[in-house]
């Protein structure tokens, strides 16, 4: 039985006030992924926005497996759910876990617009798969993850029974056709599973404190899934609210998200993304700094040219700036470095940028044979460009 949509207003009100909130679970490397924002796809006469999240490093030969996130609704016509904190954090989480992710806006602005929104979802998937090579995505390894009022849109993908759909995930989603929605079987996951055709592995997360009619749709779906011998992982959150993954920062919420990521990785055949540890970054930038010290000691312009970025600049407390070109030009006449070294005291990395503080003490021999000792502190900026760390800036307070 289709219930009146009293659940819809309640759950939308609950989630909309948390639009800036991010998922309560994180994985290492989420700040080091690549993001392409505000790409577009076309559905009918509408041009709509999408974002693509990619792991660091070279893509596998066939491209990255991809998770497509389907937001709920109805939403306001000017809403941009792809920019909500939940989808930004999930996009980064997938990319840091070795999968691409796509978040996008669709036009579910009223219950009557479910068919239009389902067409938007189909158009988005066609765009992603059609441009898979340019996006470095594998068009044959696709997962779809639906949320809340996006459940009927998730059903519309399942109803196609596509070979490229490797698995799906559903979080606190309405899994039957909303009563006021157009009578299209493709909008009901209950009807889709009930037809008995094979489905890909499914993961369903049910929040115990969610709206009763929404949970009844989940229960109807699960009963038929068991009857039809579908492969379903049911994750129960007895004390979870609608939107538990952003509203309930408790161990069970984090465990459900962790298991969902593992489910997606396993069914998509994803390999872990390479994430440099803090120790790896420290060792890498320390090696660059040591190479620079050695290059200056030897007056080796070739070695220094490879270690300094072309846009390198050093700023002193008096406001003077020394560029890479000036540094290399003065190398031959600089005092000779006799001894000394530089010690990094702290290193902090943000993706492909690292900032390191440190102190140096060096003895130099001047042209007249006299010597002097130079002691100083500095803040150094390194960046990873084209796969290697280089020295891009320094400040001498």
Positions in the chain whose pLDDT score sits under 70: 1-19, 180-181, 272-276
214 domain-assigned: yes
Same domain, 282 and 253: no
Residue 349's domain is classified under what CATH number? 3.10.450.50
Same domain, 282 and 262: no
Same domain, 115 and 259: yes
Residue 148's domain is classified under what CATH number? 3.40.50.1820
98 domain-assigned: yes
Same domain, 178 and 209: yes
- What pLDDT is recorded for position 18? 57
Same domain, 219 and 286: no
Give the tens place of pLDDT for each residue, 47-68.
999 999 999 888 999 999 999 9
- What pLDDT is recorded for position 4? 44
Kindly report the pTM of this predicted structure. Answer: 0.69
Q: Which among 213, 247, 268 is the end of a domain? A: 268
Same domain, 101 and 10: yes
52 domain-assigned: yes
Provide the domain limits for residue 286.
278-396
Same domain, 117 and 175: yes
- What pLDDT is recorded for position 315? 94
Same domain, 283 and 257: no
1 domain-assigned: no
The residues with which 232 forms a beta bridge, in sequence order, are 202
Same domain, 219 and 297: no
Q: Which among 268, 303, 337 is the end of a domain? A: 268
| Number of compact structural domains in the chain | 2
- What pLDDT is recorded for position 2? 45
Q: Which of 154, 252, 156 is nearest to 203 (CA)?
A: 154
273 domain-assigned: no
181 domain-assigned: yes
Same domain, 15 and 92: yes
391 domain-assigned: yes
Q: Which among 212, 243, 268 is the end of a domain? A: 268
Same domain, 256 and 340: no
193 domain-assigned: yes
Same domain, 91 and 113: yes
């Amino acid at each position: 039985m289709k219930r009146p949509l009293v659940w819809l207003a309640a759950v939308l009100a609950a989630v909309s006030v948390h639009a800036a909130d991010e998922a309560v679970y994180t994985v290492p490397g989420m700040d080091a992924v690549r993001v392409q924002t505000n790409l577009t796809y076309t559905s009918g006469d509408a041009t709509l926005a999408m974002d693509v999240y990619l792991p660091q490093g070279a893509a596998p030969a066939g491209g990255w497996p991809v998770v497509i996130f389907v937001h709920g609704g109805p939403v306001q016509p000017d809403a941009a759910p792809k920019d909500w904190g939940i989808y930004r954090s999930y996009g980064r989480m997938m990319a840091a876990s070795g999968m691409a992710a796509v978040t996008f806006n669709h036009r579910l602005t009223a219950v009557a617009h479910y068919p239009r929104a389902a067409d938007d979802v189909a158009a988005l998937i066609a765009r992603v798969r059609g441009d898979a090579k340019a996006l470095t995505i594998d068009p044959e390894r696709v997962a779809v993850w639906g949320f809340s009022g996006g459940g009927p849109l998730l059903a519309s993908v399942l109803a196609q029974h596509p070979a490229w759909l490797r698995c799906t995930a559903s979080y606190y989603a309405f899994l039957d056709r909303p009563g006021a929605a157009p009578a299209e079987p493709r909008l009901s996951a209950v009807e889709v599973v009930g037809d008995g055709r094979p489905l890909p592995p499914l993961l369903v997360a049910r929040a115990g404190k969610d709206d009763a009619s929404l949970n009844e749709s989940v229960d109807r779906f699960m009963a038929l899934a068991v009857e039809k011998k579908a492969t379903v992982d049911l994750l129960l959150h007895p004390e979870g609210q609608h939107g538990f993954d952003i509203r309930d920062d408790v161990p069970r919420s984090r465990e459900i998200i962790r298991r969902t990521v593992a489910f997606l990785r396993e069914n998509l055949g994803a390999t872990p993304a390479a994430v440099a540890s803090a120790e790896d970054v420290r060792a890498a930038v320390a090696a660059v700094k040591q190479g620079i010290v050695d290059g200056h000691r030897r007056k080796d312009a070739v070695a220094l040219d490879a270690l300094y970025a072309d846009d390198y600049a050093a700023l002193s407390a008096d406001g003077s700036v020394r560029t890479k070109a000036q540094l290399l030009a003065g190398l031959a006449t600089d005092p000779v470095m006799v001894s000394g070294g530089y010690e990094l005291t702290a290193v902090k990395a943000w993706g492909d940028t690292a900032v390191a503080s440190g102190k140096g003490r060096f003895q130099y021999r001047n042209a007249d044979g006299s010597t002097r000792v130079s002691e100083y502190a500095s803040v150094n900026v390194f960046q990873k460009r084209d796969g290697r760390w280089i020295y891009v800036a320094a400040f001498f307070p």
